[in-house]
Amino acid sequence: MNAALVQDFADSYSRVEHLGRAIWLSRFSWSNLMAMFSAHFDESGAPGNTHSVLTVAGCVSSVNKWARFEVEWNKILIEAGLPEGTVFHMNKFARNIKPYEEFEGNPKRKAELISALVNCTRRNVNKAFSCTVVLEDWERMNQRYYIAEHYGYPYSICGRTCVAMVLKWSTKNAAGPVEFFLKMELRIEDS
């Protein structure tokens, strides 16, 4: 295969578009709505400590806006001096851990990057949703009321709550059907 053709494909390939086309097949449209959610675990203290909260958060936007978001977000990171392919992690950024070492001692530069990323999100997202469970409170309630047996564990409670909020928003705004993607990731990293 021609090297230039391969490079053109790599430059224009969008994982968001790929996902949208895989889901909707012949019904694919750039205006289809996708809700993308991730589970985030607030890790405080040293690795190995238990997490204090569990949050599921995500946004709803059209396939077209998600594809635009992907391009804009990556461009902002590169223009900020981060290596191509960097996945932004706020926990590392806040502590100036690799690849964010160059931001240490430069609060203005950090604020500019956060501002650019927030503005990118605002331009490309229709609505954001989140649900958080304080795990110590959930444990206490579960011991007394058997919540896990009736309603599930914190991740499923948060996930279902976010889905319900999206469906309510979608109905209220006549947004049409929404496809949901939930991803759960837990990382314990060196401090």
- The continuous run of DSSP H or E covering 78 comes out as helix 63-79
> Secondary structure of the chain: what % helix, strand, coil (to 5)?
55, 20, 30
Question: In the predicted model, is pLDDT for residue 52 greater than 90?
Answer: no
Comparing 5-9, 166-170, 179-183, the range with the smallest average pLDDT is 5-9
What is the per-residue pLDDT for 184? 62
The model scores a pTM over 0.95: no
Mean pLDDT for all residues in the chain: 82
What is the per-residue pLDDT for 11? 61
Hey, where are the domains in the chain? Answer: 33-62+127-184, 64-125
pLDDT in tens, 112-170: 999 999 999 999 999 999 999 999 999 999 999 999 999 999 888 988 998 899 889 98
What is the per-residue pLDDT for 37? 61
Q: Per-residue pLDDT averaged across 6-28, rounded?
A: 73
pLDDT grade for 63, boundaries at 50, 70 and 90 = confident
- The continuous run of DSSP H or E covering 134 comes out as strand 127-134
- Dist. CA 182–CA 90, nearest whole Å: 20
- The continuous run of DSSP H or E covering 178 comes out as strand 178-184
Looking at residue 88, the DSSP 8-state letter turns out to be P
